[in-house]
Amino acid sequence: PQHTLPTLPGQPPMIGYLVLVPADQQPALAGAVAASRLRPGGSPFPQQPEPDRAADEGAPGGPVRIDATRRTASVDGVALDLTYLEFELLSHLVAHPHRVHTRDQLVTTVWGYGHVGDGRTVDVHVARLRRKLGAEYRRSIQTVRRVGYKYTP
């Protein structure tokens, strides 16, 4: 006997996926968009309190500032001209200072679960970010050999 999933009138059948993620990693929101159709109200996740905006502002007193609401980044008050993925990568690194991120973790978190690529993609974007940060602050994104990268304000 063939099993069929429930359908909504005029909608294709729903397909569910179970994704196991290490406890220290946040799932990519893009992967949960399909799940939003399953939850009443259209939200992919249960309501959670609004995060403290201070966490999005970069390290206190640090030279790199991230404004997640306006999607802008600046160094010492000078705005950076970043692509979408450069902003996402820098924002993620600045939000977790001193934490070492593997290339695979960064690909999963910044590019999302559906991205097909390798660690070289991360290396190229980090190199571009370092150029844009300038000579004085390029070292704030440190390479951890054979592991990945970390941001140190």
**Residue 33: Cβ within 10 Å count:** 10
Give percent of the chain with pLDDT exceeding 70: 56
Mean pLDDT of 74-84: 92
Region 12-27 average pLDDT: 62
Q: Rounded to two decimals, what is the model's pTM?
A: 0.60
Say what the pLDDT of residue 48 is.
Answer: 42
Query: Tokens for 14?
Result: 């729903």
Domains present along the chain, CATH in parentheses: 53-151 (1.10.10.10)
Confidence of residue 38 (pLDDT cuts 50, 70, 90): very low
Asked if 82 and 70 count as a contact pair (C-beta separation under 8 A), the reply is no
Helix, strand, coil percentages for the chain (3-state, nearest 5): 35, 15, 55
**For the segment 82-138, what is each residue's pLDDT rounded down to a tens digit?**
999 999 999 999 999 999 999 989 988 888 876 676 768 899 999 999 999 998 999
